[in-house]
Amino acid sequence: MHPATSANSIDPLDIDLESSVQSACLIPIEHGNRPTTHASSIMIPFLSKLENSDDLRSFRVSLKWCTLDHSTWLGKSISFCTFIFLTIVAPLVTSLLVQYQDSSLSNDPISFNKLVQFPESALALIGFFTLTQFFRRYTLGQLLFLDGLEGDSSYVQRGYRHELGRAFRYLACILLPSFIVELAHKIVFFSKVTVLVPYINSEIAAKIVVGVLVLWSWVYRTGVLLLVCILFRLTCELQILRFEGFNKLLEGCGSDASVIFNEHIRIRTQLSATSHRYRCFIIGCLLTLTVSQFGALLLVLESEETKTFFNSGDLIVCSAVELSGFCLCLLGAAKITHRAQGIASIATRWHMTVSCAFSTPDHGKELNGTHGDNNSDSDHLIPVPSSQEPSSFQIREALVAYLQHNSGGITVYGFALDRGALHTLFAFEFSLVLWILSKVTVLPSS
């Protein structure tokens, strides 16, 4: 990963952009998409009514079903109690109640099942507290930067409704298949283990109670993690739509440089806010996934137990769901960063197109010595450019220079999450895998 270009820009570009725009008498920037200092200090209900409540109804329903409604003190208390019970208490209790008769301390076939409880609970903890920070500061419309949507083009508004529907298709494509596999694994798992629950004499009833509790805990923890991933991906997709609308401003010769400048500042401000909101979540998920995956790899390679769906099914489902959600975030960040970094080349092409269009002399002035003087040497046409052409050229040139030094995108503490960052992460993780394999795997001597 390499530091974002905006972090290394020149000092004049690091000034307060909004104040500079207003002082230059350009088009004013809307502040509706960015909470002010006074607004951020007020507790705003996350599930408050918005003008586009019909479009966000699915998110509100999902949050309420996950007991994540923090709009009231009662809802907040229920949310924290549910989180503690399903994320900490339930996995710990079920691990103690489940026993395998033929297992020993050195060769436990359900050790993989116990191992996956740590990363699942850790990622749910990261996701829950990320959402809690959002609940305290923003409404759902502010979190997705939808408050100023009425000022966007019809193309952006249509795309926004399409992306809202597609976001839940992402969630369904990850959650439903993994739930089916998890359900099949639990049926096989509880058919081979012994469950001892106090005050429940029937073993079948005890297995049903513990099995339902395990599945409930898994759905809750997975849902909390994926919900944050979907919110981040949806935010990126909506900003990509705004970049596409921004690209349309750079088509033809009729666009005003001040309008383009203000629109880019608005998008860049929203990207900076998105990076600041999700940076701890991204780093926490990366560290948790790295430690858990390589810890599982070490355990699998060192274990002499035969790997079956019974003892390794939880590990497969956990790894697939966690990596799918995290890759959803990384791909969304890399996609929007790639769009942001390509703006400078599009602006340069636009600048060249407009400059070439104005370079053709369409204004002239016929200079004659006197009306009675028929000297042909004094009759010639001199191109006289418009008085606004030099200043407009300099404005476009300054705009291109600004875009080249402020490409932006999604960043994590100054490092851009672009395609180069994905390549770096892949190389780092792959190197760790090879190192673990070299320490664990013993090659037979020839």
DSSP secondary structure letters along 232-258: HHHHHHHHHHHHHHHHHHTSSS---HH
State residue 445's pLDDT score: 44
pLDDT band for position 101 (cuts 50, 70, 90): low
State residue 362's pLDDT score: 52
| Residue 352 lies inside a defined structural domain of this protein | yes
Q: Which residue has the higher pLDDT, 301 or 361?
A: 301
**Residues 185-222 as b or e (16 or more Cβ within 10 Å = b):** bbeebbeebebebeeeeeeeebbebbbebbeebbbbbb
| Residue 381 lies inside a defined structural domain of this protein | no
Three-state DSSP at 29 gives coil
Are 187 and 215 in contact by the 8 Å Cβ rule? The answer is no
The pLDDT > 90 percentage for the chain reads 17
Quote the number of domains for the chain.
Answer: 1
Mean pLDDT computed over 220-246: 89
314-338 pLDDT tens trace: 888 888 898 899 988 998 899 898 8
Q: Looking at the predicted structure, is the pLDDT value of residue 396 above 80? A: yes
265-287 pLDDT tens trace: 888 888 999 999 999 999 999 99
Its domain, for residue 331, covers 5-366+389-440
Q: How far is CA 300 from CA 105, 323, 438, in A?
A: 16, 18, 14
**Whole-angstrom Cα distance, residue 207 to residue 93?**
13
| Residue 361 lies inside a defined structural domain of this protein | yes
| Residue 28 lies inside a defined structural domain of this protein | yes
| Residue 357 lies inside a defined structural domain of this protein | yes
**Whole-angstrom Cα distance, residue 177 to residue 361?**
65
247-258 pLDDT tens trace: 888 876 667 788
| Residue 377 lies inside a defined structural domain of this protein | no
The whole-model pTM stands at: 0.76
| Residue 371 lies inside a defined structural domain of this protein | no
| Residue 316 lies inside a defined structural domain of this protein | yes
Q: Looking at the predicted structure, is the pLDDT value of residue 19 above 60? A: no
Secondary structure tally for the chain: helices H, strands E: 15, 6
DSSP summary character for residue 3:
B
